Amino acid sequence: MDTLRVFEPFPNLFAFYDGRVPGHRFLPQDNWVDAGAISLGIASYALVSGTRALVYDTHVSVAHAQAIRADLERRGVREFTVIYSHWHLDHVAGTAAFTGAEVIANARTAAHLARLRPAIEAGTLEGPPAIAPLVLPTQVFSGALSFEFGGERVELIEANIHSDDATLLWLPERGVLLAGDTVEDTVTFADTPEDFAVHLTELDRVAGLGARHILPNHGAPERIAAGGYGPGLIGATQRYIRWLTDNAADPAAAEVPLASIVAADIAAGDLVWWGEYEAVHDHNLGRARDWRLSGG
């Protein structure tokens, strides 16, 4: 686990980051870990209070999660609670390393995982590697869930952004938002263009929280280590979604470089350019084009 880096962007809030390392691959053959996570860079997070930790996503493999658990145990943690940001594989793959932990998710995440469990455990949903066993949530909520942890309030907030089952972790007293994949740097992964209008409205709701520091799961390691992104990341995500909505049906859209689409947001410091997102943009544009041409 030589490429797994540990940052502490805020006191007792740790980021476990892998990826964006030239030449590094998780597996030599084609696989979802490299294509959708390691190539883009991915972090899981842990909020620590004494002997307890809230683990926000369990990374891309059991080996990664074992390394996370070992690091936290060296810090004195003995009791773990896992929170899923959403059902996608790169966020739930390592949970078997946290044997006996409570696993919290919203009801949509629980339903998606239960429905897809046979394919996920067989490695046929998105190809190898399989996640076996897939650990399902043990506590389910809908809408929002608030509780005290280490003397501060923690709020879990359900949203339909990126996927219809997102859970954000909001620390209102610090102004810190763990955003999962609801925002992403350099651009969001837009797999459900039929929900773009909902995503935009939901992003307005997230902006209304007033977060000063946003920590996405996919982002620039140096930015995460230094305390995350400002609220401009939300606006940058909305502008990109609007660009897809407005331009996807135009054949000329495919000739517009991603770098030019996000140039203003990079110049403003709201985004950091990472070239691997050109493939994500191509995927997004294809999905949005198909949706628009089908009457969306």
Q: Write the pLDDT tens digit of every residue in 129-142.
A: 999 999 999 999 99
Query: Is 8 in contact with 30 (CB distance < 8 Å)?
Result: no
**Is residue 109 over pLDDT 80?**
yes
Eight-class DSSP state of 94: T
User: 3-class secondary structure for 119-163?
Assistant: HHHHCCCCCCCCCCCCCCCCEEECCEEEEEECCEEEEEEEEEECE
With 0.95 as the threshold, say if the pTM is over it: yes
Residue 292's pLDDT band, with cuts at 50, 70 and 90, is: confident
Eight-class DSSP state of 96: G
Query: Is 265 in contact with 271 (CB distance < 8 Å)?
Result: yes
Domain extent, residue 56, equals 5-293
Q: What is the mean pLDDT of residues 43-55?
A: 98
Into how many domains does the chain fold?
1
Token pair for 261:
């689409």
Q: Which residues pair with 17 in a beta bridge?
A: 5, 43
Q: What is the mean pLDDT of residues 32-58?
A: 97
Percent of the chain with pLDDT over 90: 96
pLDDT for residue 8:
98
Q: What is the mean pLDDT of residues 18-41?
A: 95
**Is residue 1 over pLDDT 90?**
no
**What is the residue-averaged pLDDT of the chain?**
97
Q: Which residues pair with 178 in a beta bridge?
A: 169, 215
pLDDT for residue 223:
98
Q: What is the mean pLDDT of residues 267-281?
A: 97
**Is residue 78 over pLDDT 80?**
yes
Distance of CA 100 to CAs 12, 79, 118, Å? Answer: 23, 9, 22
Q: Which of 195, 187, 162, 199 is nearest to 86 (CA)?
A: 162
Amino acid (1-letter code) at residue 64 = H
* CATH code assigned at 219: 3.60.15.10
Q: What is the mean pLDDT of residues 251-276?
A: 97
Q: Write the pLDDT tens digit of every residue in 163-206.
A: 999 999 999 999 999 999 999 999 999 989 999 999 999 999 99
Classified as helix, coil or strand, 168 is strand
Q: What is the mean pLDDT of residues 282-290?
A: 95
Q: What is the mean pLDDT of residues 272-276?
A: 97
Q: Write the pLDDT tens digit of every residue in 140-174.
A: 999 999 999 999 999 999 999 999 999 999 999 99
Token pair for 122:
């067989």
**Is residue 208 over pLDDT 80?**
yes
pLDDT for residue 295:
80
Query: What dihedral angle (degrees, nearest 10) is formed by the CA atoms of 148, 207, 15, 57?
Result: 70
Q: Which of 30, 1, 19, 37 is nearest to 180 (CA)?
A: 37
H-helix or E-strand containing 264?
helix 263-267
Q: What Rg value do the Cα atoms of the chain yield, rounded?
A: 18
Instruction: Measure the N-to-C terminal CA separation of the chain; round to a whole number of Å.
Output: 44
Order of strands, sheet of 79-83, starting from the edge strand that comes earlier in the sequence: 5-10, 13-18, 42-49, 52-56, 79-83, 102-106, 139-141
For the chain, the maximum distance between any two Cα atoms, rounded to a whole number of angstroms, is 57
Q: What is the mean pLDDT of residues 266-293?
A: 96
Q: Which of 79, 142, 68, 69 is nearest to 105 (CA)?
A: 142
Higher-pLDDT residue of 19 and 295 is 19
